[in-house]
């Protein structure tokens, strides 16, 4: 009698184990990698000089034809401030593209006074970098 009760339970557990897990949500970020992110405030003196935040990095994509720009910044009013940037894919220029991995140099500049505590760079639903501390060059 115990055997008759165990067989249906084991069979139903085996059936549950064959259900594949849900697929992860696709990222809206086409990058296959990124590196070398840096951020600093350029507060060098000079005529008409204004402090500005400069952010640089590298973005690697699977083929040519991609173009990018950093958008933002979104500044969170904290002490010191936190800056959030988004790496956005720009429309392709059209025409044929290389079928090789390509790495793009990324750079953005915005007027901003020190101090800045951190800079977060995002692409789609991915965080590419959190840069902290952000130094001031003066």
Question: Rounded CA gap, 109 and 72, in Å?
Answer: 10
Q: pLDDT band for 77, please (50, 70, 90 cuts).
A: confident
Say which residue the tokens 């000079």 belong to. 46
Q: pLDDT band for 1, please (50, 70, 90 cuts).
A: very low
Question: Rounded CA gap, 6 and 11, in Å?
Answer: 9
Q: What mean pLDDT, rounded, does the chain reach?
A: 83
State the pLDDT at residue 20. 43
Pairing status of strand 102-111 against strand 67-76: unpaired
């Amino acid at each position: 009698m115990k055997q008759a009760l165990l067989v249906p339970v084991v069979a139903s557990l085996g059936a549950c184990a064959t259900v594949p897990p849900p697929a992860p949500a696709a990222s809206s970020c086409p990058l296959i990698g990124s590196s070398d992110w840096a951020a600093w405030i350029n507060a060098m003196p000079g005529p008409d000089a204004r402090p500005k935040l400069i952010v640089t990095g590298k973005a690697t994509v699977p083929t040519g034809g991609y173009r990018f720009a950093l958008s933002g910044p979104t500044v969170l009013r904290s002490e010191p401030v936190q800056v959030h940037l988004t790496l956005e894919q720009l429309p392709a220029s059209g025409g044929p593209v290389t079928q090789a991995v390509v790495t793009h140099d990324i750079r953005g500049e915005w007027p901003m006074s020190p101090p800045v505590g951190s800079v977060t760079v995002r692409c789609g639903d991915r965080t590419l970098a959190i840069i902290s501390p952000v130094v001031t060059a003066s």
